[in-house]
Chain A
């Protein structure tokens, strides 16, 4: 199976996401929903027209859960995650939706109340650690600021906690690096500092927007492990944006696949790898090379390019790249349907995809 093939490459999966069929567990988890996003849409008004970067996205994250948002560049995954903290800048605009976190709608917050959530209850780490720290301020100044702001710590207490955090995220010589400028640290070290900043106020939700993309592969693994460790220690949920399926298998409890600004499939990681119901998800999995199995001449790929978000088609936005598409796909937008417990897919032909078994949907030879 695809999932098995995948495991052999990445070691044992997370021990979570078991018992998903268990009703008691489901009800329990429903109660523990930390963040509930409904109908979130983000638009950019540009000279080319209205770019619909995010279209009616709904998702839930349970307390302590790690959710991966997967998609290729331009699928809207970064914009979606940034909009949760209202970090999308003009000309981007959140046009609809709500994001309820413990009784507050993150999207309706303004001014002081919004700033009180940013950096304390919900924090974010970004793709490029090389540029995400201010080059003219010392690590100490940048690390201490959120703690002083949100936890109202004095200079000395904040410094103490800052040093502890640096040690916690695995920065050697925390004392020495504390007073360094960012350019004196390596990329991996900078991402550790950014993680320390994000974890400083024990957030309920940590949003990680491709936190390892700009790092080299050996450092990637360390950073992911660190993220897993600190989020577990603090009991934080993680919304993890990535295009790396390997990281997803390793890190996430659940996966949501984005395409054309929509979530087209979501479910527990195991189920998604084992039995994808959307052809796009299926294509992503098929394009992963296997180390143990036989090696094909060419890796399979999904032909074509992602849709232009300024001119989204009337029907399914994946239709022009999908081997299964027919008139229905071109004419009508597929609704998101529950295909298994806690597993939804938005495809007119999800049953066909699910029944593919070992057969490939995207053939490398064509």
Chain B
């Protein structure tokens, strides 16, 4: 196991370097100039001022030189300063990462806690000849997949924040006040969760339906095991592999979702930071955020693989 983890960790480094390279080039390929965003255009401040600022920010060097400097700095965990505000990117990320992580993690927990029991019950009732929940889930999945996240977010904001006034529309997050954190994060978590919910419920339902036909379920039943125990201890546990797989795979989509959701709900997370970084051509900020996203995504994939072995003793990870 530890050799496996070491190997996987080793593979992460070139992957991240690759991502860093692609992001570095893509950000610079964007039309627009950070210095103009910062000072205004040439007519306003004069070409000389722009040139000085460029020099200060190290943007006059050739792209390869900038690249080597950036990679070298990144390896020492120095992500540079924001071109626009001068604040170290690491500082910006320190504030933004917990918000995004909280939203993403809570939405995963929320969708799993709702979708897995729903999917399991839908499968169970189907084996008993009652398939209304199953059909309901199918319809829900179709609708949830068809509705774009930002639209759901806007509707929720409209209904729950503006009309009903249950949740604040904006505001900073004070981690010391759990209730405030809850009211600020509840809507974005639900919005992100709904997208996940549908697919997890469908996968759970199919896997549990399969597992309920398995021989060990019959054995358990023949020994007087209560039906709920059969469903949740025997069948569900054997169905978790595909569910974990889907969760791991959809994590990328989830991170993408946080970008839009954070912006709609004005949450100062990484998504908001990324959009600011890109629209302001703030190269260092955009690069820093994407780097963290990439790291998160790769880590989740690794966690997924390790989870397999926790759930199914037959799975052995080979280095």
Residues of A within 8 A of B (CB): 82, 85, 87, 89-91, 115-120, 123-124, 126, 128, 131-137, 145-146, 149-150, 181, 183, 194, 197-198
> Which residues of the partner chain B approach A134 to less than 8 Å between Cβ atoms?
216, 219-220, 234, 237-238
The residues of B that contact A116 with a CB separation of less than 8 Å are 224
Please report the C-alpha to C-alpha distance between residue A84 and residue B222 in the assembled complex, in whole angstroms. Answer: 10
Identify B222's interface contact among A87, A131, A133, CB under 8 A.
A87
Residue of A nearest to B225 (CB): A145
Residue in B216, B313, B314 whose beta carbon sits within 8 Å of that of A133 in the complex: B216
A6 to B176, CA, bound (A): 84
- Tell me if B249 counts as interface (CB < 8 A to partner A): no
Instruction: Report whether A123 and B223 are in contact in the complex, using a CB–CB cutoff of 8 Å.
Output: yes
B89 CB to nearest A CB, Å: 44
Residue among A82, A115, A124, A136 with the most chain B CB within 10 A? A136
Chain A CB within 8 A of B30 CB: no
User: Taking the complex as formed, is B214 at the interface, i.e. its CB lies under 8 A from any CB of chain A?
Assistant: yes
Shortest beta-carbon distance from B70 to chain A in Å: 47
Interface residues of B in 213-254 (CB under 8 A from A): 214-216, 218-226, 233-234, 237-238
8 other contacts beyond A119-B222, A134-B216, A137-B233, with CB at 8 A cut-off? A91-B129, A118-B222, A126-B218, A132-B215, A134-B237, A135-B238, A146-B224, A198-B223
Q: Please determine whether B216 and A132 come into contact, CB atoms closer than 8 angstroms.
A: yes
In Å, the complex CA distance between A27 and B237 comes to 52
Within 8 A of A (CB), among B288-319: 311-314
Shortest CB distance B95–A (Å)? 42
In the bound assembly, the distance between CA atoms of A198 and B214 in angstroms comes to 18
In the complex, chain A residues whose CB is within 8 Å of the CB of B60:
none
A338 to chain B, nearest CB (A): 34
A13 to B240, CA, bound (A): 50
Residue contact A135 to B224, C-beta cutoff 8 Å: no
Q: Is the CB of B222 within 8 A of A90?
A: no
- Chain B residues within 8 Å of A198, by CB: 223
Contacts of A85 in B (CB 8 A): 222
Any chain A CB within 8 A of the CB of B127? yes
Binding site for A on B (CB under 8 A): 127-129, 214-216, 218-226, 233-234, 237-238, 311-314
Please, could you name 7 A-B residue pairs with CB atoms under 8 Å apart, sorted by A? A117-B224, A126-B215, A135-B216, A135-B313, A137-B233, A146-B223, A194-B219
B215 touches A128 (CB 8 A): yes
Bound form: Cα–Cα A126–B216 in Å: 10
**A118 close to B218 (CB less than 8 A):** no
A90 with B219: CB separation less than 8 A: no
CA distance A194 to B225 in the complex (A): 15
**Interface-centre pick from B218, B234, B312 (highest chain A CB count, 10 A):** B218
A-B contact count (CB 8 A): 76
Given the complex of chains A and B, what is the CA–CA distance between A150 and B226 in angstroms? 12
B213 CB → nearest A CB, Å: 8
Which 7 pairs, one residue from A and one from B, show the smallest C-beta to C-beta distance?
A119-B223, A119-B224, A118-B224, A131-B215, A134-B216, A115-B224, A90-B129
Residues in A whose Cβ lies below 8 Å from that of B128? 90
- Bound CA–CA A89/B217 (angstroms): 11
CB-CB under 8 A from A194, the residues of chain B are 219
Q: How far is the CA of A165 from the CA of B256 in the complex (A)?
A: 55
Closest B residue by C-beta to A183: B314
A119 to B223, CA, bound (A): 4
Question: Would you give the shortest CB distance from A114 to chain B, in whole angstroms?
Answer: 8
Q: Which partner residue on chain B sits nearest A143 by CB separation?
A: B223
Q: Which of A90, A117, A128, A181 contacts B313 (CB 8 A)?
A: A181
Contact residues in A for B219 (Cβ distance below 8 Å)? 126, 132-134, 194, 197
Knowing A90-B128, A126-B215, A126-B218, say if A149 contacts B314 (CB, 8 Å).
no
Residues of B contacting A124 in the complex (Cβ-Cβ under 8 angstroms): 222
In the complex, which of the residues B127, B226, B311, B313 contacts A115, with contact meaning CB atoms closer than 8 Å?
Answer: B226
Which residue on chain A has the smallest CB distance to residue B129? A90
Contacts A118-B222, A132-B218; A89 near B312 (Cβ below 8 A): no
* A134 and B225 alpha carbons, distance in the complex (Å): 13
A126→B214 CA distance, assembly (Å): 12
Do residues A136 and B313 form an inter-chain contact, with CB atoms below 8 A?
yes
Q: Are B312 and A136 in contact (CB under 8 A)?
A: yes
Which B residues are CB-close (under 8 A) to A150? Answer: 224
Docked complex Cα distance between A126 and B314 (Å): 22
Question: Do residues B312 and A118 form an inter-chain contact, with CB atoms below 8 A?
Answer: no
Q: CA separation between A145 and B221, bound complex, in Å?
A: 12
A128 to chain B, nearest CB (A): 6
Give the Cβ gap from B296 to chain A, nearest Cβ, in Å: 29
With a cutoff of 8 Å between Cβ atoms, the chain A residues found around residue B226 in the complex are 115
